[in-house]
Amino acid sequence: MPQKRTHSPQLGLKPALRKLLQWFSSEKKDLPWRHDRTPYSVWISEIMLQQTVVSTVIPYFTKWMKKFPGIKQLARAPEREAMVLWEGLGYYSRCRNILLASRLITKKFRGKIPDHYEDLRSLPGIGDYTASAILSLAFRKPYPVMDANVKRIVQRLLALKNPDKKEEERTRSFLRKMLPVKQPGEFNEAMMELGQRICLPENPFCSRCPLKGRCLSFKSNLQNKIPQRKTSGIIGKRTRLLILCHGEKVLITQKQKGVLKGLWLFPAIPMKQACEDLIKKRIAKEFEQTAVLKPVSHHYTKYRDRLYPVMYKVSALHAAVDKEGKWVDRTALRRFPMPSAYRKIAALLSRP
DNA sequence: AAATCGGGGAT
DNA sequence: ATCCCAGATTT
């Protein structure tokens, strides 16, 4: 005869799992990559979704699948064409890596996306998360994913307080226990959507959570203490952009390295620096400031860069400019991939 | 282990 | 205005 408990009993893992899958089957959203699911569509969507919210990805995914419906079309595409589709999505190395990987898949895997963990990990841009997502969603293999949503949920379920290496392993082993071998994809998607819609970083909707009976944080009312909020550490910058007009043409330069490699930018210098000396020395003998455009903000990670575009009309060009930059007709700017902040300025220039 | 890479949605 | 996101790669 079991003794009467003072606390409410914790829900077993199996019943909790059943509730989760039930919640997902009735609440899941209709997303483009959930139609006609193939290894290719899973791969592309998962890469686009890295550090990028669902609503942002949807139009990019749709455009991409229309232009590159399969790996064959992708593998023979010039990088420029792919980058134009990616423009505005951010983290541009993801796009370069997709191109690289598509060629590797063609060459080393007979044009088929591999269905083994190590093979997937060998491809550029595919880390632990993406490999597990492809294996579970596309090939129904029992690999749990650990994205930010899943980590947050398990942290709360188990009331883990400091996210370190050890707790990450706790999380992984918990997920391996919970994951239903016959429907790993459903489980992974259910967890991610739960994190996205119920188990929010702040003020989670615990009352509507199918896992609340299994959640130690909820039981102890710690759901707003776990996980700890991290301190910001934002760093602000100010940069002046030079919009140099020569006749109908504008000067842009292509990034040669870094994450923005391959993208085109207007020449930029820190605010403090005297830009007119630079123009005189490197670009043209004669110039005249013609306008000051509205600033736009360009931000990445902890940096918040405020861009101040200034237009100059230049003449008597130095010959050396062609090496680093390109004079482009204003109406042709749209054919050169740029980060969003720069695109906003380019849009102003291309209309009269 | 920590830094770095974008952009925008949500609050 | 601030936090965060279906992370990967480099330092």
**pLDDT, one tens digit for every residue, chain A (352 residues):** 444 444 567 889 999 999 999 999 999 999 999 999 999 999 999 999 999 999 999 999 999 999 999 999 999 999 999 999 999 999 999 999 999 999 999 999 999 999 999 999 999 999 999 999 999 999 999 999 999 999 999 999 999 987 788 889 999 999 999 999 999 999 999 999 999 999 999 899 999 999 999 999 999 999 888 988 776 566 666 777 888 899 899 988 877 666 567 778 888 776 656 677 777 777 788 888 888 887 777 766 666 677 788 888 988 777 665 556 788 999 998 888 888 888 888 888 876 5
C1' (B8) to CA (A1) span, angstroms: 58
CATH superfamily, region A13-219: Hypothetical protein; domain 2 (1.10.340.30)
Cβ of A192 near strand C (distance < 7 A):
yes
Footprint of strand B on the protein (CB under 7 A): A 51-53, 55-56, 88-93, 165, 200, 202-203, 258-260, 298-303, 339-341
Does the nearest atom of strand C lie within 7 Å of A100's Cβ?
no
> A242: Cβ under 7 Å from strand C?
no
Region(s) of chain A under CATH 3.90.79.10: 235-350
Q: Catalogue the active-site residues of A.
A: 46
Amino acid residing at A145:
V
The per-residue pLDDT for A153 is 96
C-alpha to C-alpha distances, A334 to A38, A72, A272, A308, nearest whole angstrom = 32, 27, 30, 20
pLDDT value, residue A236: 64
Residue nearest to nucleotide C9 (CA to C1'): A125
Nucleotide nearest to A42 (CA to C1'): C6
| Strand B nucleotides with an atom less than 7 Å from a protein beta carbon | 1, 4-11
Locate CATH 1.10.340.30 in chain A: 13-219
Alpha-carbon separation of residue A310 from A243, A247, A278, A279, A327 (angstroms) = 6, 16, 14, 12, 17
CB under 8 Å, gap of 24 or more: what pairs does A5-13 form? A7/A219, A8/A219, A10/A213, A10/A214, A10/A216, A10/A219, A11/A213, A11/A214, A12/A214, A13/A177, A13/A178, A13/A214
pLDDT of residue A3: 45
Q: Which residues pair with A305 in a beta bridge?
A: A237, A298
Domain A235-350 has CATH 3.90.1200.10: no
